[in-house]
Amino acid sequence: MQTLNVDLADRSYPIYIGEQLLQSHELLVRHLRSRQVFVVTNDTIAPLYLQPLIELLDGHQVDSVVLPDGEEYKTLETLNRLFDGLLEARHNRTTTVLALGGGVVGDMAGFGAACYQRGVDFIQLPTTLLAMVDSSVGGKTGVNHRLGKNMIGAFYQPRAVIADMSTLETLPARELSAGLAEVIKYGLIADEEFFEWLESNIPDLLAKDPKALAYAVKRSCENKARVVAQDEREGGLRAILNLGHTFGHAIETAQGYGVWLHGEAVAAGMVMAADLSHRRGAISAGELDRLVALLERAHLPVKAPATMTPDDFIRLMGVDKKVLDGRLRLVLLEKMGKALITDDIEPDLLQETFAACRADERDAPPGA
Ligand code: NAD
Ligand code: GLY
């Protein structure tokens, strides 16, 4: 097992990365404040991992809620089921919420924990690659609103992140690829050496080689923890973690939540950000091609949906949280391995990027 630390003064916490960690009683109880535990999971993950977890916590009061699976259920309505369960089983302020699942479960369980009785402990037990490398770390929690993704939420840090790599054995290939989009993002924004490592090791990652996956998770979490430690509440630097996300959120919203996976939308969005960076002279055509090739090898989309017009993008990017004082702010590349945040966007170049990055109508959408 490897242990990293997210350094946030009195809100610091460990990230444990290893095989079979969900079978370690000692590790699970290490961060519990009382005998009350409330597991939040969904109806795909529950049959795989819930019962062994409940048995491992024998002697505790373990209650659980099994939510419907899907991004479209990441809503305030669904969150009420969590509060119903906590209140019906009389959980008090010393309870600990365990988020067993991917980013959807983690974001909802974390937000639920932030709200329940004005805040109870929670532990992230991520079971997707995306959740292990991104959503379980850093304390962004929340739900979607009809008018925008992740628009209702809170910064609320977990007490620990326990990434049991063995859970990836059951993860579908498409979900693994979606997680790789966020992994590739770290190489692009902050770690060129890691980007090169990914170019050499993508076949091992796709084949779920345990050593390669553990290295990718560790290196991604190190990168994320470093940024979060410097800027927990996204006053500035942390926004670099959103490379590709402004375009990606527009794609997710336009297609309807859950049609494109989050990581898929981020992949196409990263190409758009890199394309615009190239048009601004920050990276070469060869470097843009390297990104496109790596994403394609990871089985990720590299174009926006054919149905989306430039106006769709502008409209949907207008409700993004990164808009300040009516000016669009984007995360772009200063060079390979270094991101920058700018509101100095050339409208003509942006239009060129929309045109260059739109899929052909004959292209199959992701998952087809
Ligand atoms: P997800 O939670 O929807 O999980 C993907 C699918 O895999 C689901 O069907 C799930 O039930 C299934 N699954 C999960 N673990 C499995 C396993 N081990 N075996 C088999 N099936 C499994 O999606 P995700 O990609 O993990 O997360 C996406 C969400 O995370 C989005 O809502 C996004 O907004 C959010 N997110 C949040 C942050 C953050 O900082 N909080 C960062 C990135 C993404
Ligand atoms: N996923 C972006 C962040 O955590 O800030």
Would you say the CB of residue 103 lies under 6 angstroms from ligand 1? yes
Listed residues 136, 151, 170: the one ending a domain: 170
Domain that holds residue 91: 2-170
Q: 352, exposed or middle or buried, with CB in 10 Å at 0-12, 13-18, 19+?
A: middle
In this prediction, residue 362 has a pLDDT band, given cuts at 50, 70 and 90, of confident
Amino acid at 295: L
Residues 112 and 163 in one domain: yes
92 in ligand 1 pocket by Cβ < 6 Å? no
Catalytically active residues, by annotation:
118, 140, 182, 224, 234, 238, 242, 245, 249, 262
The answer to the question of residue 59 being in a domain is yes
Residue 305 to residue 342: CA distance in whole angstroms: 25
Both structure tokens of 80: 């009420």
Residues 101 and 47 in one domain: yes
Ligand 1 centre to CA of 70 (Å) is: 9
Nearest-CA residue for ligand 2 atom 3 is: 241
Q: Are 75 and 258 in contact (CB under 8 A)?
A: no
pLDDT at 321: 53
The SS3 call for residue 8 is coil
Contact 268, 322 (CB under 8 A): no
166 and 309 co-located in one domain: no
Q: How far is the CA of 350 from the centre of ligand 1 (A)?
A: 30
Q: Is the Cβ atom of 138 under 6 angstroms away from ligand 2?
A: yes
pLDDT digits (tens, 9 = 90+) for 153-198: 999 999 999 999 999 999 999 999 999 999 999 999 999 999 999 9
Q: Are residues 263 and 244 in the same domain?
A: yes
Q: Atom of ligand 1 at shortest distance to CA of 170?
A: 19
**What ligand 2 atom has the least distance to the C-alpha of 138?**
4
Do 203 and 147 sit in the same domain of this protein? no
Overall size of the chain counted in residues: 368
In this structure, which ligand is nearest to the CA of 181?
A: 1
Atom index in ligand 2 nearest the CA of residue 238 equals: 5
Asked whether residue 272 falls in the same domain as residue 347, the answer is: yes
User: Best of 145, 152, 175 to mutate for ligand 1, by most ligand atoms within 8 A of CB?
Assistant: 175
* Number of domains into which the chain is organized: 2
Is 154 domain-assigned? Answer: yes
Q: pLDDT by residue (tens digit) across 198-209?
A: 999 999 999 999
HSE at residue 288, side-chain half, CA atoms within 13 A, is: 22
- CA dist 32 to 10, 82, 96, 153, 266, Å? 16, 19, 6, 24, 35
Is residue 324 pLDDT above 70, yes or no? Answer: no
What pTM, to 2 d.p., does this model score?
0.96
Tens-place pLDDT, residues 88-113: 999 999 999 999 999 999 999 999 99
Distance of CA 258 to the CA centre of its chain: 14
